[in-house]
């Protein structure tokens, strides 16, 4: 369409409201909110209001305004469809602004179902967790297009659609073990699969596996530790299990969210506004804050509010856990860069205080609960670097040169963990899994239904008495799975495979 071939896309953000601006909308907005949106409210010095930006109060109002309009207008459309005896589905993918499926008004539209084309676990949870629709559908990849939507030569010479599908499926599967969807599908040109009988065979097996997984959730819930993780961002629930599109590799928040999407813990998404309005929910065990300075995921300017610092400090002091990843609570504000440095015991040198000498830490020599399953030295992909510890009360578990990369610290009755980065890998999933239980002071709950081999994961459905063990790697794996009470079962898994172990009676 005339774009430069080296830059076909300019902005790729599914949650950006830039396209909803019109003179009429601006006038109607002013009638409702009593003030007029200015160009700069949208342009934002050229950064616009993409999902990585902390939303301004004005932008939140605008989202609310458009959401109200789309809900009312969408409801009228759905009514017309229903009046003709048809069902109304929506594609929760490239652009769904105004719908806000995780918002309060979504139920008022009256949609029958929601469909999303997904590659990963966090997207699966986004669909699975959407309330108030009868049908949640995943559209799998590769699309039946010659070239995949991510540029892979899926059905072209050199493509391997079966392997491609498998690599997405293993990530989707671990999320489906936690929370089900109602159906799966494909989109595109069916004739493309003719020359790929292995793909057709694989999809048949995948569909059987999907139906089996879905059936496990019938009248049952997977065993989940009594442990609630709250992921704290500037967006909170409105962008739960969302980023700005598909998996944004290298983004700490997205990598953490992907890892968490398959863990046996309860997960919620909270915003700074939630904390200001109602405090930290009483059932929260561990808060995770992951991101880079100034972005919506770490929270940016929200960290300048002392009431936030007080609330989280009080929470941890009272026994709560806090896990910071990358640049948690980072803001150029006051004498701490990490505004929660007093909890984490770690801060980051950003170049203004290089003249300050830093505490010369030693690496903890005693084996630590958090590190126990690491198969090699930690690899977080990009680490933030230039971290330092405040004093000897920070326990440094791993460091890169003079920068600590895994630390823990007690604060009052609570615990904090700092990770200088995160990348979705089996080792790091297990590390984060352990960090969550450690921060929650719930180590004794950790062993239940845990596979000893971190390349495998397990989910137990107590009413069915069924244990699913899955292998997220391209190699065969063997593992023991710890059964509560002290026993264990041995399981052999083929590459990308899963197995079910049945227990005669619910354990």
Q: Return the active site residues.
A: 94
Closest approach of Cβ 7 to its own copies, in Å? 5
119 vs 162: CA distance, rounded Å: 14
**Interacting positions 70-89 with its own copies (CB under 8 A):** none
Binding-site size, its own copies (CB under 8 A): 47
CA gap 201, 207 in Å, rounded: 10
Q: Are 219 and 506 in contact (CB under 8 A)?
A: no
Q: Report the alpha-carbon distance of residue 417 to residue 198 in Å, rounded.
A: 45
Tell me the closest approach of the beta carbon of residue 53 to its own copies, in angstroms: 6
**Which of these ranges, 115-123, 240-248, 442-450, 456-464, lies near its own copies under the rule CB under 8 A?**
240-248
Residue from 1, 2, 10, 486 touching its own copies (CB under 8 A): that is 10
C-beta of 98: minimal distance to its own copies in Å?
18
Binding region for its own copies (CB under 8 A) out of 128-136, 233-241, 291-299, 477-485? 291-299
Cβ at position 12, least distance to its own copies in Å: 6
Of the pair 140, 389, the CB lying nearest its own copies is at 389
Q: Which is nearer to its own copies, 116 or 295 (CB)?
A: 295
Part in contact with its own copies (CB under 8 A); list of ranges 159-167, 169-177, 241-249, 408-416: 241-249
Considering the complex, state which of residue 195 and residue 335 has its C-beta at the smaller distance from its own copies.
335
Q: What does residue 57 show for φ and ψ, rounded to 5 degrees?
A: -55, -40
Applying CB under 8 A, does 188 fall inside the site for its own copies? no
- Binding of its own copies at residue 38 (CB under 8 A)? no
Q: Is 7 among the residues that bind its own copies (CB under 8 A)? A: yes
According to the binding rule CB under 8 A, does residue 6 interact with its own copies?
yes
Among 31, 277, 360, 376, binds its own copies (CB under 8 A): 360
Sites for its own copies among residues 413-472 (CB under 8 A) = none
Q: Does 150 bind its own copies (CB under 8 A)?
A: no
Q: What's the min distance (Å) between Cβ of 354 and its own copies?
A: 5
Residues 6+ apart with CB under 8 A from 295: 52, 53, 54, 253
Cα radius of gyration rounded to whole Å, the chain: 24
Q: Measured between alpha carbons, how far is 367 from 146 in angstroms, rounded to an integer? A: 51
Question: Distance between CA 482 and CA 459 in Å, rounded?
Answer: 12
Cα-based angle 150, 152, 156 (whole degrees, multiple of 5): 140
Please report how close the Cβ of residue 380 comes to its own copies at its closest, in angstroms.
Answer: 14
Q: Which of residues 296-335 bind its own copies (CB under 8 A)?
A: 332-335
Among 29, 52, 169, 303, binds its own copies (CB under 8 A): 52
Three-state DSSP at 83 gives helix
**9 in contact with its own copies (CB under 8 A):** yes
What is the smallest separation between the CB atom of 68 and its own copies, expressed in angstroms? 25
Q: Which of 218, 283, 391, 494 contacts its own copies by CB under 8 A?
A: 391
**By the rule CB under 8 A, 1 interacts with its own copies:** no
Q: By CB under 8 A, is residue 11 in contact with its own copies?
A: yes
Q: Is 381 in the site for its own copies (CB under 8 A)?
A: no
DSSP 363-402: B--S--GGGTT-SSS---SS----EEESSTTSEEEEEETT
Q: Is residue 46 within the footprint of its own copies (CB under 8 A)?
A: yes
**489 forms part of the interface with its own copies (CB under 8 A):** no
Choice from 106, 235, 272, 361 touching its own copies (CB under 8 A): 361
Cα–Cα dist 155/146, whole Å:
5
Sheet holding 266-271, edge to edge: 266-271, 228-233, 286-291, 321-326, 414-419, 403-411, 395-400
User: Which one of residues 146, 385, 447, 465 is an interface residue with its own copies (CB under 8 A)?
Assistant: 385
Q: What single DSSP character describes residue 37?
A: P
Does residue number 353 form part of the binding site for its own copies (CB under 8 A)? Answer: yes
Our finding on whether 56 is near its own copies (CB under 8 A) is: no
| C-alpha dihedral sign at 425, 431, 434, 435 | negative
List Cβ neighbours of 31 (8 Å cut-off, separation of 6 or more): none
How many whole angstroms separate alpha carbon 64 and alpha carbon 32?
A: 11
Verify binding: residue 365, its own copies, rule CB under 8 A.
no
Closest CA to 169 of 496, 423, 429: 496
- Pick the binder of its own copies from 180, 291, 421, 454 (CB under 8 A): 291
Q: Who's near 262: CB < 8 A, 6+ residues apart?
A: 121, 171, 174, 175, 177, 178, 429, 457
C-beta of 335 vs 504, nearer to its own copies: 335
Q: Is the peptide bond before 142 cis (omega within 30 degrees of 0)?
A: yes
Report residue 174 as tokens.
Answer: 């671990």
Burial (Cβ within 10 Å: 0-12, 13-18, ≥19) of residue 503: middle
CB of 173 to its own copies, least distance (A): 27
For the chain, the residue count is 507
Neighbours of 312 (CB within 10 A): 25
Q: Is 336 in the site for its own copies (CB under 8 A)?
A: yes
- Of positions 244, 257, 346, 481, contacts its own copies by CB under 8 A: 244
Beta bridge partners of 117: 139
CB of 304 to its own copies, least distance (A): 12
Cα 111 to Cα 98: distance, rounded to the nearest angstrom: 14
- 356 near its own copies, rule: CB under 8 A: yes
Residues near its own copies (CB under 8 A) = 4, 6-13, 16, 45-47, 50-53, 244-245, 248, 251, 291-295, 332-336, 350-361, 382, 385, 391-392
């Amino acid at each position: 369409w005339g774009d430069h071939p080296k830059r076909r896309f300019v902005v790729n953000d599914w949650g950006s409201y830039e396209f909803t601006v019109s003179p009429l909308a601006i006038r109607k907005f002013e009638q409702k909110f009593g003030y007029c949106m200015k160009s700069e409210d949208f342009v934002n010095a050229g950064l616009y209001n993409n999902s990585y930006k902390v939303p301004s109060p004005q932008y939140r109002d605008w989202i609310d305004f458009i959401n109200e309009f789309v809900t009312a207008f969408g409801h009228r459309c759905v009514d017309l469809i229903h009046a003709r005896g048809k069902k109304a589905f929506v594609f929760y993918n490239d652009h769904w602004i105004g719908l806000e499926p995780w918002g309060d008004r979504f139920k008022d539209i009256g949609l029958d179902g929601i469909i999303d084309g997904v590659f990963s676990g966090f997207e699966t949870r986004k669909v699975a967790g959407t309330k108030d629709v009868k049908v949640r559908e995943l559209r799998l990849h590769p699309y039946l297009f010659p070239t995949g939507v991510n540029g892979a030569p899926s059905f072209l010479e050199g493509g391997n659609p079966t392997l491609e599908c498998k690599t997405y499926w293993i990530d989707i599967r671990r999320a489906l073990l936690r929370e089900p969807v109602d159906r799966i599908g494909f989109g595109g040109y069916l004739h493309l699969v003719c020359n790929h009988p292995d793909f057709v065979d694989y999809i048949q097996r995948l569909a059987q596996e999907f139906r089996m997984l879905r059936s496990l959730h019938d009248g049952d819930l997977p065993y989940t530790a009594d442990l609630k993780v709250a992921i704290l961002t500037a967006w909170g629930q409105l962008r739960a299990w969302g980023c700005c599109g598909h998996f944004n590799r290298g983004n700490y928040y997205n990598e953490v969210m992907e890892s968490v999407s398959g863990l046996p813990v309860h997960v919620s998404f909270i915003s700074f506004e939630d904390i200001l309005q109602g405090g930290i929910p009483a059932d929260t065990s561990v808060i995770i804050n992951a991101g880079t300075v100034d972005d919506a995921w770490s929270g940016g300017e929200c960290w300048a509010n002392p009431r936030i610092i007080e609330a989280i400090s009080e929470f941890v002091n009272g026994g709560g856990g806090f896990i910071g990843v990358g640049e948690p609570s980072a803001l150029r504000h006051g004498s701490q860069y990490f505004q929660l440095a007093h909890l984490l015991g770690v801060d980051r040198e950003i170049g203004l205080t290089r003249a300050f000498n830093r505490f010369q830490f030693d690496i903890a020599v005693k084996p630590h609960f958090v590190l126990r399953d690491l198969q090699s030295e930690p690899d977080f992909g990009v680490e933030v670097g230039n971290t330092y510890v405040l004093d000897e009360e920070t326990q440094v578990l791993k460091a890169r040169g003079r920068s600590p990369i895994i630390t823990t610290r007690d604060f009052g009755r609570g615990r904090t963990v700092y990770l200088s980065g995160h990348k979705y890998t089996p080792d790091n999933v297990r590390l984060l899994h352990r960090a969550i239980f450690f921060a929650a002071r719930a180590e004794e709950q950790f062993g239940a239904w845990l596979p000893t081999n971190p390349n495998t994961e397990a989910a137990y459905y107590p009413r069915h008495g069924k244990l699913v063990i899955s292998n997220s790697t391209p190699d065969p794996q063997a593992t023991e799975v710890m059964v509560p009470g002290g026993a264990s079962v041995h399981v052999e898994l083929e590459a990308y495979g899963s197995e079910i172990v049945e227990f005669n009676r619910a354990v």
